[in-house]
Amino acid sequence: MTFLWAFIVGGTICLIGQLLMDGLKITPAHTMSTLVVAGAVLGGLELYEPLIDFAGAGATVPITSFGNALVNGAMAESERNGLVGIITGIFEVTSAGISAAIIFSFLAALVFKPKG
């Protein structure tokens, strides 16, 4: 059942992305930025966590989850340390994704040759 909801919710988020790209004719970069901000807003309203409980990877794999994770990190730290915590905590949760992407991309640049 988890798999079905992951498929439906994840697919729907991608469909929204495709609609933004084709319908509004905006670039992929604009689409991704819009989705990340949307995820952050939903995270701020505490609506994204229930979606994760419900759809699992269907909600954590799309890029919207990145926006939500940024807000969660900032909020968790600001509850402990006050306003400064927003700055110190913003990348707390997303560290895995960003550092993995940087490290593996760098290694890939060492190993692979560009393909035409």
Partner 1 sequence: MDQNQQNKEQQKREYQQIAAKHEEKRPIGINCLKAFIIGGLVCTFGQAVQNFYMYFFDFTEKTAGDPTVATLIFIAILLTGFGVYRRFGQFAGAGSAVPVTGFANSMASAAIEFRTEGLVLGTGSNMFKLAGSVIVFGTVAAFVIALVRTLLGM
Instruction: Tell whether residue 112 is a contact of partner 1 (CB under 8 A).
Output: yes
DSSP state of 47: -
Contact between 85 and 78 under an 8 Å Cβ cutoff? The reply is: yes
The pair of structure tokens assigned to 86 is 């927003």
Instruction: Tell whether residue 115 is a contact of partner 1 (CB under 8 A).
Output: yes
Shortest gap between Cβ of 50 and partner 1 (angstroms)? 13
Cβ-based burial of 24 (10 A; exposed 0-12, middle 13-18, buried ≥19) = exposed
Instruction: Tell whether residue 111 is a contact of partner 1 (CB under 8 A).
Output: yes
Residue type, 107: L
Quick one: which of 11, 26, 47, 80 contacts partner 1 (CB under 8 A)?
Answer: 11
Quick one: which of 24, 26, 28, 54 contacts partner 1 (CB under 8 A)?
Answer: 28
CA distance 48 to 100: 23
Residues 45-104 that bind partner 1 (CB under 8 A): 52, 56-58, 60-67, 70-71, 73-75, 78, 82-83, 86-87, 90-91, 93, 96-98, 100-102, 104
